[in-house]
Amino acid sequence: MSTAAVAPLNKDNSPLGDMDEWDEFLEGRYKEGKSKEEFRVYDATATPGVAEFYRLNHENQTLDYVLEKEKTYFSLQKGQKTVWEAAEFLNTLVDDSDPDTDLTQIEHLLQTSEAIRADGHPRWMVLTGFIHDLGKCLCLYGEPQWGVVGDTFPVGCAWSQDIVFPEYFAKNPDRNRPELQTKYGIYEPNCGLENLHMSFGHDGYIAEVMKPYLRDESLYMLRFHSFYPWHRHGAYDHLCNDKDRSMLEWVLKFNQYDLYSKGHTKPDLKELKPYYDDLFAEFLPPTLAW
Ligand SMILES: [Fe+2]
Ligand SMILES: [Fe+2]
């Protein structure tokens, strides 16, 4: 397995020690039993790196930025790769934390998928667990942390107050485009989440890669797994259609595993590989366009 280190990213663009710091923040934010008021207690002094990360995300994710990134990446011009090759590629994303105790990206993916498998869910959902974060390879294409991870939200319409750190939208240039600041903005009422331009990140990208092959439930898990304002807070119902509402339960089912399946036992890749070889072959072609 390749673990060649990539050059450290510009610190201004990378306020998080590594992208897992965002996942850890989410896990703390949605700790079981936390009251709604407690969700609000994530001030900038307690987690300055996370706050700075969201400031960059909220100020830079404009409609024009998203349209440009969709044009670049949704045409899937980054070459052909198998799922294993994509996972190995993501694994080259190493940070300076201790390699003996920290899990690799592949081990994180396997923990999610193995937890889904252990609970007896369908095979397509196990597959979804394994692939859901492969889009984080955007970082290796040079995209900044704030353009790869973070809670997602629609652009081109008013921002919900249920988006974490909403105050950071004050300096987003779309603030000065009144046509993008109304409840519906550029969209029609109940037009469906699939017709929105979501803030750009790893979710939308992996959903585009997998779109020809997987069922809607799986694609919703991929595309909207970081859309916390919707799946956790019920925001943006005015843009949802009946399909979105029926898919919500699957996204929520998946979210449990995304948030809480991370442990410290290393999954045994060698032992698990044959199962995953069969799983990939069942649903996907040998190589995929990325
Ligand atoms: Fe993710
Ligand atoms: Fe994840």
DSSP annotation string for 8-53: PPPGGG--SSSTHHHHHHHHHHT-TT--HHHHT---TTTSHHHHHH
Q: Which ligand is closest to the CA of 259, given by its number?
A: 2
Query: Tell me, what's the pLDDT at 186?
Result: 98
Query: Tell me, what's the pLDDT at 5?
Result: 41
For ligand 2, a single-atom ion, the residues with CB < 5 A are 133, 258
Query: Tell me, what's the pLDDT at 22?
Result: 87
The pTM of the whole model exceeds 0.85: yes
Determine contact, residues 238/190, Cβ cutoff 8 Å: yes
Residue with tokens 């396997």: 110
Span from the CA of 179 to the centroid of ligand 1 (angstroms): 31
Query: Tell me, what's the pLDDT at 13?
Result: 76
Span from the CA of 45 to the centroid of ligand 2 (angstroms): 25
Q: Which ligand is closest to the CA of 150, given by its number?
A: 1
Query: Tell me, what's the pLDDT at 7?
Result: 39
Q: Which ligand is closest to the CA of 228, given by its number?
A: 1
Each residue's pLDDT tens digit, 55-95: 999 999 999 999 999 999 999 999 999 999 999 999 988 65
Residues of the chain with pLDDT under 50: 1-9
Span from the CA of 258 to the centroid of ligand 2 (angstroms): 5
Query: Tell me, what's the pLDDT at 196?
Result: 98
Listed residue (23, 32, 30) closest to 232, CA to CA: 30
Residue with tokens 């949605």: 30
